[in-house]
Structure 1
């Protein structure tokens, strides 16, 4: 068995029959609704930030539904593959598969079916096929490249694997325009460079969990001090990068102000993590990082819907 292969997992023992005790809520949990909500939000912002008004809102909302289903499918397939390590981590052992409520094979079939459905639906509802291709790539990257390949093999798992979570703005943009220009990819870049300091702050808090599961997160492989340095350097890259969309047609003054002020606060908290003086610093940065990303994309949404853009 290689490090990238999931260990066989049976919550009731190897001889127990596979019986589904799942409720609709368990299947909803398989979709990782909190992650899905972020995907929906950033994809919606990508749609709205694209130049010109959204021509057909019913089709745009159908496209958004397809993107949401694709995100949920990725979550279900990730839980299928990671059931063994989820079973030994405190924050994940209550998930539907390790708790025995949903059989692994059922979760795999569920995620696979939703993946096909989401790409097909986006191909029908979007403008052209670029958005559907990007969604298919996102699902593939998250499940195969990140979950099956990177997560168990390298401490750079979050850095490279973060691309999957960063792509929704480009998918949403392409769904309503058929294109994904530089402005859309700048929004992708913001999420991509936000992901490492966000998750490394969490990994500093949950290093024992990751150690027990055998996941090579940065604090467990290179140590807490090295991780704090990386958080600081990535934050230094993120703060000015997040201002760049204001130089394109995607954003304007409200976004710029949010990016500058939020970036300054992000750097302040990242510096406290870098110094390593307070045990609460990683938790403070982790919590603020969520607010920061939401604030950036909310500013974009307000600019376009309130006519503040331009």
Structure 2
């Protein structure tokens, strides 16, 4: 089913009482925004160029607003399938708390404000990267890839990987090997993270006609892809340890977390659908939860090594 037909047949939710502030805040996808803020802040703080605390605060604020704007525009466009999927039915638009027009207006207004203010307060490169991130997430991923190809989350994952590059650009005014590798870490982490979720939420994507890999190629193929991407992720993760922002804390974290991640991916790969269903997809759910800690641990370790260098305890591996 095409985007147009989905948008035309999905019933609109009945508008209830006047929306509250929390309903508009929910449009910004605060959980996703927290990841955007955290990784952008790390990219900014581990950069070699010191940044004034006020600029750090304002830059992270505008990056957060840009991430929130992307979320609002995503919910505006995906309102039809959000009404179908159990996981998203309580979002503000399908729940009838906020109209699609309000979500569109909020998303566009915040996008313009965030990009303009980041470019003016930090630099043009950071502002341009933020603008491209919003465009990529809303147009390339949400409007095009998500409903067209099972590689949607692979290519679309780039949108969530840009924040540390933006933070780095705020501090340095450019792009470097370190910022590209931080991007790559999130980019390659995204597919196994979401495919694990899709394994135990397959019916949602199936009913909404979203061509997630579990729907188009089945569970066995998805498990093989998770293992392959986890191996690639381990290599990328360890490579970052040997750059100017790496150090003993990050290397130790990468070794431990990648070992656990590889073991989890291996366990998922060895299972078949009958075993997974008998276990209520326990291994898949554990892998998904571990994936959340995986990214947080890696970026926290980068901060620890940056602190060690600032106090003269460590100069880095590079």
TM-score (norm 1): 0.94
- 1:243-282 matched pairs, under 5 angstroms: 243-276=238-271, 277-278=275-276, 279-282=281-284
Q: Is the 8 A contact 2:168 2:175 kept in 1?
A: yes
Q: 1:261, 1:125 → 2: CA distance?
A: 39
Is the CA contact (8 Å cut-off) linking 1:19 and 1:103 kept in structure 2? no
Deviations for 1:4-48, whole angstroms, at most 9, x for unmatched residues?
675145212xxxxx6772100001100000000000000000001
* Matched residue, 1:101: 97
- Do the aligned partners of residues 4 and 10 (structure 1) sit closer, same or farther apart at CA in structure 2, a change above 3 Å counting? closer
The alignment partner of 1:243 has SS state of: helix
Give the helix-richer structure, 1 or 2. 2
After superposition, the CA RMSD in angstroms is: 1.5
Distance 1:309 1:21 in 2: 55
2:198 matched residue in structure 1: 203
Counterpart in 1 of 2:60? 64
Q: Match of 1:301?
A: 303
Using the alignment, how far apart are the partners of 1:29 and 1:68 within structure 2? 13
5+ residue gaps, structure 2, are none
Alpha-carbon deviation of 1:282? 0.9
Structure 1 position 2, deviation (Å): 3.5
Name 1:29's counterpart in structure 2. 26
Aligned-partner SS, 2:157: helix
Q: Secondary structure at the match of 1:68?
A: helix
Choose the corresponding residue for 1:225, options 220, 227, 252.
220
Match of 1:166 among 158, 161, 165: 161
Contact 1:20–1:103, Cα closer than 8 Å, also in 2 = no
1:41 to 31, 38, 41: 38
- The answer to whether the 8 A contact 1:203-1:219 is kept is yes
* 8 Å CA contact retained: 1:60, 1:125: no
Q: Could you list the runs of 4 or more consecutive aligned residues of structure 1 that deviate by over 6 angstroms after TM superposition? A: none
Q: Does 1:81 align with 2:83?
A: no
Cα deviation 1:30-85 (Å, max 9, x = unaligned): 00000000000000000011114x23110121011010000000000000000000
Instruction: State the alpha-carbon separation in 2 of the partners of residues 247 and 21 from structure 1.
Output: 53
